A and B are shown apart, each in its own frame.
Chain A
Amino acid sequence: MSDALRTERVKRERFMPFRFARTGLKLELLQAQIDDETPLLQDAEDRDQSELHLEDDRWQRLRLRLQLSRDPELLSQLLPPQELQRPAVRLLLVVSEPRARLRRALPLPFEPTTEAVTVEVRLEHHELAGPCAITPWLVRSEPGRAVSGFAHAAGHRLASGRALSVVPYAPATRAGQFLDVQYRSFRQDPQLRSQPYRLHYLELSGDQPLLLINSDHRSIADALDARGQSGTRARLREVFYDMMSVSVWSQLFMHAAEALSEDGTTRHSWQDGVLAELLPQVFPNLKRHHERLRELIEIRDSDHALGQLSALCDQALQQRLDLVKHMERLVQDTVGVGRG
């Protein structure tokens, strides 16, 4: 390949401007108890799991007994030697659930000589609407003398560890415009455990469609959950959602078209919503909704229904989803513009 055609790739990573141990803390789930039920003790090999899925939505209070431990050498890596006698640090768990805007700090006792601490975290049903993260942090508690390469301001991050994610069985939020969205571990789901390769599954048997996203594919789920509006993660999220949307909308459209009766009514209100939203792009030359419905029924009942419907749906979705714009933005953000 000539130099002119070679594309410059720049890998961007976020580094802390001082010593920071991203995996210096270890959070383990020892026990979970729902209301007054018998506590569920974790087997030793399952204690470092990163997710807890509740089987049932009918609970009031969840009590978790957690153990937070650290490497014995951790502090000596993070603080200047003169501070090790009396380390100015604060250990805490941060409990956060963005949908219900829960952000709570749970301070933990810190003893320089004690390497593990056990703590109970209580979560109330009414304060959670979606997955809740419990993240361990070690931060500076007081400002210190500025020493190059070491954190010195109060609140500066020193160490963290893998968060425990508590997933309520039936989150009450509707993240999508036409369907509910839930993250679920397919590995732990009785119906879906045989298909761990799946990224998502569209459940259409209920009154409202439900999109299940496989949280076992952690890095993809994190990318889908990214909340910023700029940067590579935001661009990735747009493209990932577009890719899922093509598959999901196609299924929604086909089901709605199939359910459409001769008089233009459907079985579920979401099917009306999907048709009202998509048909103007499927049949751009027809001005009225009832004309579009009539045309759809005619095609559906024709000899070449499947081929025609899928082609029309695909064209409408590509227009609707702005796939090209989102992919171009991702390309610009990752490999730059106008190279080669």
Chain B
Amino acid sequence: MWSLLPSGRRLITPEFASGQCPRYDEKDCGPLVAPMPRDISLEALDQTVHRALLDYPPADANSDADIAIDIHRSLPLTRREAADPGPFRYLAILRHPELVRHRWEYRSYATMRDRFWRAGTRHDANAFSRWWWIAELTRDGQDYGLTHRAFSRSSLATHLFSRELCSHRPAIEAAVELFADAPASTLEASLKNLGKMLSVRVLEALDKEELLGLMREARDLEQRTV
């Protein structure tokens, strides 16, 4: 396992992002990568990626949960290691760019570039970083039930994991329970209201039930406004 250095950003050309230049030879990119602080085998991850390419149709948002869980299980990183975007950039740009292009249809260079490079869990972040981190934030040991539910609707995952509150598991549990079937506009406006409510509260002091109550208030406030 390697980490792609910041200077590796120049590898994401329009031709690479669109797939006209499908991949780089890792041997030519030696100066752009650095070894990880410890050896991490990629055998299981390689198999996961190959299976995903065969099992799921292109541009299938329904595949996100299964891919995220399989990638998390086969990539044993600590949070400290995963805080560095370099390993995820290595996976997306040098090791398995075909999975990024398989999952996401090329629509614009700027967005596709972010799906290879941007760190984090936003919908347009590096695909491997997003899959791994959402699985990490939602799992309970080996139980990935919440991961499945969080990915069950792409608008839910999009709005939830672009906000800081997604680092607090009870907040994810409450949001997934309450907004599973909510229209995207209600979800977005409710989470905005919730953000304002949290500015006078301490998020970490609230458990799932308290957060559910607060989210209901945020949703009702939105519905009253409409």
Q: Do A and B come from one complex?
A: yes
A contacts, CB < 8 Å to B: 16-18, 90, 92, 94, 96, 98-105, 125-130, 137, 139, 151, 153-157, 172-174, 176-179, 208, 227, 269-270, 272-274, 276-277
Question: Which one of A102, A127, A179 contacts B6 once the chains associate, using CB atoms below 8 Å?
Answer: A179
Given contacts A16-B200, A104-B204, A153-B201, contact A269 B31 (CB under 8 A): yes
A269 to B31 alpha-carbon distance, docked (Å): 5
A92 touches B202 (CB 8 A): yes
A123 to B83 alpha-carbon distance, docked (Å): 16
A178 touches B6 (CB 8 A): yes
B204 touches A156 (CB 8 A): no
A270 surroundings in chain B (CB, below 8 A): 5-7
CB distance from B127 to the nearest CB of A (A): 18
Given contacts A269-B32, A273-B10, contact A126 B78 (CB under 8 A): yes
Task: Identify the closest chain B residue to A104 (Cβ).
Answer: B204
A127 touches B80 (CB 8 A): yes
A277 surroundings in chain B (CB, below 8 A): 10
A334 to B201 alpha-carbon distance, docked (Å): 27
Assign chain B's interface to a size class: 20 to 34
A101 touches B133 (CB 8 A): yes
A92 to B206 alpha-carbon distance, docked (Å): 11
B contacts, CB < 8 Å to A: 5-7, 9-10, 31-32, 34, 37, 78-86, 133, 136-137, 164, 167-168, 200-206, 210, 214
The count of A-to-B residue pairs whose CB atoms sit within 8 angstroms is: 107
A92 to B205 alpha-carbon distance, docked (Å): 7
B205 touches A155 (CB 8 A): yes
B206 touches A154 (CB 8 A): yes
CB distance from B208 to the nearest CB of A (A): 13
A269 surroundings in chain B (CB, below 8 A): 5, 7, 31-32
A54 to B207 alpha-carbon distance, docked (Å): 33
B204 surroundings in chain A (CB, below 8 A): 92, 94, 96, 103-105
A272 to B32 alpha-carbon distance, docked (Å): 10
A156 touches B167 (CB 8 A): no
A94 to B198 alpha-carbon distance, docked (Å): 15
Task: Identify the closest chain A residue to B136 (Cβ).
Answer: A101
Known: A94-B205, A157-B202. 18 other contacts (CB 8 A): A96-B204, A100-B80, A102-B79, A102-B167, A103-B167, A104-B204, A126-B79, A129-B79, A129-B80, A137-B205, A139-B201, A139-B202, A154-B210, A155-B206, A172-B84, A208-B5, A269-B7, A270-B7
In this complex, the member of B9, B133, B200, B210 whose beta carbon has the largest number of chain A beta carbons within 10 angstroms is: B200
Interface majority SS on A: helix, strand, loop or mixed? Answer: mixed
B31 surroundings in chain A (CB, below 8 A): 269, 272
B202 touches A101 (CB 8 A): no
B79 touches A100 (CB 8 A): yes
Task: Identify the closest chain B residue to A92 (Cβ).
Answer: B205
A273 surroundings in chain B (CB, below 8 A): 5-7, 9-10
- List 28 contacting pairs A-B, 8 Å CB cutoff, sorted by A: A92-B204, A101-B83, A101-B137, A126-B80, A126-B81, A127-B80, A137-B202, A137-B205, A139-B201, A139-B202, A154-B210, A155-B202, A155-B205, A157-B200, A157-B202, A172-B37, A172-B80, A172-B81, A172-B84, A174-B5, A174-B84, A179-B6, A269-B5, A270-B5, A273-B5, A276-B7, A276-B10, A277-B10
A57 to B136 alpha-carbon distance, docked (Å): 24
A17 to B196 alpha-carbon distance, docked (Å): 12
Given contacts A92-B202, A94-B204, A272-B31, contact A129 B7 (CB under 8 A): no
Given contacts A272-B7, A273-B6, contact A125 B200 (CB under 8 A): no
A174 surroundings in chain B (CB, below 8 A): 5-6, 84-86
A99 to B167 alpha-carbon distance, docked (Å): 10
A272 to B29 alpha-carbon distance, docked (Å): 12
A127 touches B7 (CB 8 A): no
A130 surroundings in chain B (CB, below 8 A): 83
A173 to B82 alpha-carbon distance, docked (Å): 9
B10 surroundings in chain A (CB, below 8 A): 273, 276-277
B34 surroundings in chain A (CB, below 8 A): 208
CB distance from B63 to the nearest CB of A (A): 24
A130 to B80 alpha-carbon distance, docked (Å): 9
A177 surroundings in chain B (CB, below 8 A): 6, 9
CB distance from B83 to the nearest CB of A (A): 3
In this complex, the member of B7, B84, B136 whose beta carbon has the largest number of chain A beta carbons within 10 angstroms is: B7
A126 to B6 alpha-carbon distance, docked (Å): 23
CB distance from B164 to the nearest CB of A (A): 8
Given contacts A101-B137, A269-B32, A270-B5, contact A125 B202 (CB under 8 A): no
CB distance from B121 to the nearest CB of A (A): 9
